[in-house]
Amino acid sequence: MIEIDKIALIKIENGQILSTKSKGKNKYYIPGGKRENNETDEQTLIREVQEELSVDIIPESIEYIGTFKAQSDGDAKGIIVKMTCYKADYIGTPKESNEIAEIKWLNYTDLNIISEVDKIIFKYLKENGSLV
């Protein structure tokens, strides 16, 4: 089994979660990405969110939510995405970057347009009352 190590930002407003669709992809993903070199979770989160959403995470606001695993979309069976999720505040207004085609606020009824690991995260957030 191969594990892809990713860090993600959980940003919820009015019962909806901030999601992105990368250029060339057909599913939405919670913003974030893969760790580079020996980055900490915090460093990865700050860098990835800046690259994808053009906003600056406020480091003191970062709070661990959970770690979730699922089969990686579009990869061979046995390739697992491990998504370590944090909530945080940021400065700025999210806007599409050179790798992001669309930013959208999703809710629990949008399970059919998100990745497998995001489905697990959405269910977790729905069960704890964060997502509508």
Query: How many domains are there within the chain?
Result: 1
Sequence-separated (6 or more) residues with CB below 8 Å from residue 57: 9, 45, 46, 49, 50, 88, 89, 90
CA 21 to chain CA centroid, Å, is 11
Please state, in angstroms and as integers, the Cα–Cα distance from residue 130 to each residue in 12, 58, 62, following that order: 7, 21, 17
Please check the confidence at residue 76 and state whether its pLDDT lies above 90: no
For the stretch 7-62, pLDDT in tens is 999 999 999 999 999 999 999 999 999 999 999 999 999 999 999 999 999 999 99
Average pLDDT score, the chain: 96
- Supply the pLDDT for residue 40: 98
- Supply the pLDDT for residue 1: 87
Average pLDDT (83-95) is: 98
Please check the confidence at residue 73 and state whether its pLDDT lies above 90: no
Query: What residues make up the domain containing 117?
Result: 2-128
Q: Is the pTM of this model over 0.85?
A: yes
Distance between CA atoms of residues 35 and 25, nearest Å: 21
Please check the confidence at residue 64 and state whether its pLDDT lies above 90: yes
- Supply the pLDDT for residue 74: 80
48 class by beta-carbon count within 10 Å (0-12 exposed, 13-18 middle, 19+ buried): buried
CATH number, domain containing residue 116: 3.90.79.10
Name the band, by pLDDT with cuts 50, 70 and 90, for residue 98.
confident
Please check the confidence at residue 63 and state whether its pLDDT lies above 90: yes
Distance between CA atoms of residues 57 and 42, nearest Å: 9
